[in-house]
């Protein structure tokens, strides 16, 4: 039995239904869950002094393409719009293989962990040169983050009028077959699962209508979730109207892509009707504010979504379009961006942090994560509020206004993945060195 006592936390933001905050409380983590919360708790296990720490649930990242950490800040793509950005990067990604997938995933996962993330999804939709979803799942297991891998796919290449080069697309039969393989091999439906698998065609413009429909049927058959990109920008809406004769929300609904087991990335351009559809069907949204700013896509109507009852989480999106994987900064950006369009009272620091924790857990169907309560998984981020970032703050729990964007300690399933600001589970120096070598090789 492994046990850790977190003692005398300066404050705990529980993210429970009432938004309770606990001053000076202790917590015992035992066998992967939060076993006790109270004062003057006693334990035989390791003791972590949290007297200068704000404790939050581990942050939840609902959208990423980890492999893209190898193509950050590529000069030709730095200032391009979405479709041009993709066309610049596809030929580089076509040279990836298993090692590129694994090292880039470790890099992105480590950056997420250092920014407080304990649970992340990933959307891998290209498999060149023998790369497999397994490469990224193994990376997540090595570093010890809770991981929702999604088996992405593209089937419409340039010769069929699509954007990606033919070398990066697969046949739809092969996509479905491999999706079944990875679900059967890795998906764990149980509470406390460290790995789950979802089905995730890249976007409505990179696969056929048939594959969208078949993917939904497969996911329902296997009891796994569905994920894709939707309504990202004006070009996306125009494409949908021209090719499908309807808006993206309608297209999604027609093909079985709404429901509590579905979440869509971006949704920057959802209209009022689509927001109501997502709310009534309990469809989730991964809001990616930095990516939306970076690619000039627009400001997602997140305030309207939340008010309508849509489940919203946050995503850093791929590191080629962010270019960071810092989820804490992403939450700050979400707060700021809503204020740009709706005024200073559009989203508070606590509300944005709630999206980054409880909101994301709900989007990913993880009711065992995203909040601090007895019986929930022991996924915790401890933020040092005694340093320069918080100095002079009158409300150190308003972390997104003034506070650190890197954790001091991070626990996943009760295991310490970050201690005193350093990743404990992998040799990060070696990963960074290898990552830079691979990036240099790709740039040649
Ligand atoms: Zn994306």
The residue count of the chain comes to 444
Average pLDDT value over all residues in the chain: 96
For residue 197, the CA-to-ligand 1 centroid distance in Å is 17
For residue 61, the CA-to-ligand 1 centroid distance in Å is 12
For residue 229, the CA-to-ligand 1 centroid distance in Å is 6
For residue 164, the CA-to-ligand 1 centroid distance in Å is 15
Two tokens, residue 396 = 């150190």
For residue 419, the CA-to-ligand 1 centroid distance in Å is 30
For residue 64, the CA-to-ligand 1 centroid distance in Å is 6
- Residue 1's pLDDT band (cuts 50, 70, 90): low
- Residue 205's pLDDT band (cuts 50, 70, 90): confident
Name which of 218, 206, 128 is nearest 167 in CA terms: 128
- Per-residue pLDDT tens for 55-104? 999 999 999 999 999 999 999 999 988 778 888 999 999 999 999 999 99
- Residue 332's pLDDT band (cuts 50, 70, 90): very high
For residue 152, the CA-to-ligand 1 centroid distance in Å is 11
pLDDT above 70 covers a percentage of the chain that reads: 100
Cα 172 to Cα 149: distance, rounded to the nearest angstrom: 19
Two tokens, residue 346 = 């559009």
For residue 291, the CA-to-ligand 1 centroid distance in Å is 8
For residue 318, the CA-to-ligand 1 centroid distance in Å is 6
For residue 63, the CA-to-ligand 1 centroid distance in Å is 6
Segment 391-406 shows an average pLDDT of: 97
Beta strand 409-412 pairing with 380-384: antiparallel
Q: Is the Cα torsion angle 371, 287, 54, 122 positive or negative in sign?
A: positive
For residue 102, the CA-to-ligand 1 centroid distance in Å is 18
Least confident of 147-151, 178-182, 205-209, 362-366: 205-209
Segment 130-145 shows an average pLDDT of: 98
For residue 40, the CA-to-ligand 1 centroid distance in Å is 45
């Amino acid at each position: 039995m492994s046990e850790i006592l977190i003692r005398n936390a300066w404050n705990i933001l529980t993210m429970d239904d009432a938004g309770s905050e606990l001053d000076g409380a202790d917590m015992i983590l035992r066998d992967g869950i939060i076993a006790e919360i109270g004062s003057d708790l006693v334990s035989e296990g390791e003791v972590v002094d949290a007297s200068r720490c704000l404790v939050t649930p581990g942050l939840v990242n609902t959208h990423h393409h980890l492999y893209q950490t190898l193509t950050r800040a590529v000069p030709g793509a730095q200032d391009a719009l979405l479709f041009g950005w993709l066309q610049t990067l596809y030929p580089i990604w076509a040279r990836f293989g298993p090692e590129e997938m694994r090292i880039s995933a470790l890099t992105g996962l480590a950056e997420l962990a250092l920014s407080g993330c304990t649970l992340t999804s990933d959307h891998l939709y290209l498999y060149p040169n023998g790369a497999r979803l397994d490469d990224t799942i193994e990376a997540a297991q090595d570093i010890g983050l809770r991981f929702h891998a999604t088996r992405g796919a593209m089937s419409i290449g340039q010769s069929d009028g699509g954007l990606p080069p033919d070398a990066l697309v697969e046949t739809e039969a092969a996509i479905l077959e491999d999706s079944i393989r990875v679900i059967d091999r890795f998906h764990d439906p149980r509470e406390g699962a460290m790995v789950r698998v979802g089905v995730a065609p890249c976007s409505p413009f990179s696969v056929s209508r048939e594959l969208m429909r078949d993917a939904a049927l497969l996911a329902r058959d296997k009891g796994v979730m569905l994920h894709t990109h939707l309504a990202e920008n004006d070009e996306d809406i125009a494409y949908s109207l021209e090719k499908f004769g309807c808006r993206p929300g309608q297209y999604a609904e027609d093909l079985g892509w709404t429901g509590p087991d579905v979440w869509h990335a971006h949704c920057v351009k959802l209209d009022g009707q689509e927001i109501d559809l997502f709310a009534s069907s309990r469809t989730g949204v991964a809001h990616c504010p930095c990516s939306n700013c970076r690619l000039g896509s627009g400001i997602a109507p997140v305030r309207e979504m939340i008010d309508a009852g849509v489940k919203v989480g946050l995503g850093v999106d791929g590191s080629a379009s962010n270019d960071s994987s810092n989820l804490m900064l992403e939450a700050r950006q979400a707060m700021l961006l809503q204020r740009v369009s709706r005024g200073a009272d559009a989203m508070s620091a606590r509300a944005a942090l709630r999206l980054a924790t409880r909101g994301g857990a709900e989007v990913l169907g993880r009711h065992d994560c995203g909040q601090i309560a007895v019986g929930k998984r022991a996924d915790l981020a401890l933020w040092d509020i005694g340093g320069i970032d918080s100095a002079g703050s009158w409300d150190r729990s308003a972390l997104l206004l003034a506070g650190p964007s890197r954790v001091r300690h991070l626990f996943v399933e009760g295991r310490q993945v970050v201690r005193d600001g350093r990743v404990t589970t992998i040799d990060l120096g070696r990963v960074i060195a290898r990552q830079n070598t691979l990036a240099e090789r790709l740039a040649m």
